[in-house]
Structure 1
Amino acid sequence: MEPGLTLRLPQFPQSVVHVGLYTSVTNAATIRKELLSGNTRYSYAFVDPRSMLSVAHVLAAVYRALTDMEAGGLRTRTLSSEVVFALGGTMNIADTLRRFGIADDSDSLLVVKVDTDQTKRSNSVWAELEEIIQGTSIPVSDENIAQLTDIETVRKNYKLQPGISLVDRSEATKVVAGAIALRGYL
């Protein structure tokens, strides 16, 4: 059994998406430093799961990043950073990466690897992440993501009005997926 989730989006059959979820992370500052230095071994989207509502929420960002890549419209340097950028509802790259990406004090992480040319096998992705992340891998599920979500962080990051309920995760996911899809068009 794989420690994370591996799947293909029907619209992008050439790409394999790997999603991992980690708790009790103790080396976030090191990961962030390596990521910022451009170390290609760290070519993953490291996301703060406090802003995530569900697996569908994550996949909406992956879909947006892949769509932008195919249209020649990446705004960041890599597909991995584009996945993090796609989570935001604004065009401000630095602000979005700060709000949704890894921080030095992150103690949990949602990690995404989009393999567009199928060069990485799932077992090598999970083995590499086991070497990179000092933490505990947990199954990727809506329930486990919900345990890490901070509703007020979601509300703040997506600038959601108090009248919008985030109690129903399915409905809340639709709201944030809409923000992801419409970023830059409104």
Structure 2
Amino acid sequence: MAAKVIANELFPDSTITLALFRNVENVKEIRQCVMNGTFEAAILKTSMIVDPFQVIVAANKAVHQNKVGKMMTKNVHSEILFNLSPSKNISDSFRKFGAGDTDQSVFIAVIDDKTGQTLQAIQNTVKGQQVDVDEVKQLSDLNNIKKIYKLTDAELSWSPLDALVTRIAAKDIMTI
């Protein structure tokens, strides 16, 4: 299954590559590769993602923050994790939105992988099945998302994606 590459509308020279892996046996190894700099990527907890668009919004915001020198974290990929979270606490954001060692699925976001080498290295490392990124909807934990984002029942029943995207966009001006 091919990854999805999206052009960044705000910065046309920038791209966002998304990939989803299920039945992953080595999340701990993948996380280590990100932490030690072998891969430059965001390794996300699939249960906290309702739609790939949620990650695209967080990634666009991370690229913008990087370009204007306003990042809160060390790199653009960790900024994606931070942007997904309603919290302004970086370690809390990583814990809740970064893939855990025992997770069996991971959602990958890579900024500016023009040659495809980063994704290829990840694909070669992951012991699991790459599937269409839209399958992430099946892996969402709406109860946990509701709790962490403090969503109302009305927001959940109407459009959780709209509620989450609004919170990501407005994070800098409000705290949940």
TM-score after normalising by structure 1:
0.87
How do 1:78-157 and structure 2 match up within 5 A?
78-115=75-112, 120-122=114-116, 124-141=117-134, 144-157=135-148
Q: For structure 2, which runs of at least 5 residues remain unmatched after alignment?
A: none
Amino acid at match of 1:164: A
* 1:111-133 residue CA offsets vs partner (Å, 9 max, x unmatched): 00001xx6x313x3332111221
Amino acid at match of 2:115: R
- Rounded Cα–Cα distance in structure 1 between residues aligned with 2:6 and 2:118: 13
Superposed displacement of residue 172, structure 1: 1.4
Indicate the SS of the match to 2:164.
Answer: helix
- Rounded Cα–Cα distance in structure 2 between residues aligned with 1:14 and 1:178: 25
Superposed displacement of residue 167, structure 1: 4.1
- Rounded Cα–Cα distance in structure 1 between residues aligned with 2:154 and 2:39: 36
- Rounded Cα–Cα distance in structure 1 between residues aligned with 2:28 and 2:47: 17
For the pair 1:35 / 2:28, whether they are aligned, the reply is no
- Rounded Cα–Cα distance in structure 2 between residues aligned with 1:88 and 1:131: 29
Amino acid at match of 2:13: Q
For the pair 1:50 / 2:50, whether they are aligned, the reply is no
CA RMSD of aligned residues (A): 1.6
- Rounded Cα–Cα distance in structure 2 between residues aligned with 1:20 and 1:28: 14
* 1:158-180 residue CA offsets vs partner (Å, 9 max, x unmatched): 1223x334245xx2111101111
1:166 aligns with 156
Indicate the SS of the match to 2:33.
Answer: helix
The count of residues paired between Structure 1 and Structure 2 equals 174
- Rounded Cα–Cα distance in structure 2 between residues aligned with 1:73 and 1:126: 26
- Distance verdict in 2 for CA 1:42–1:160, change over 3 Å: same
- Rounded Cα–Cα distance in structure 2 between residues aligned with 1:93 and 1:34: 20
Indicate the SS of the match to 1:137.
Answer: strand
- Rounded Cα–Cα distance in structure 1 between residues aligned with 2:32 and 2:119: 21
Aligned partners of 2:110 and 2:119 also within 8 Å: no
* 1:54-106 residue CA offsets vs partner (Å, 9 max, x unmatched): 12111111111112112211111111111111101121100011000011111
Q: Report sequence identity in percent.
A: 24
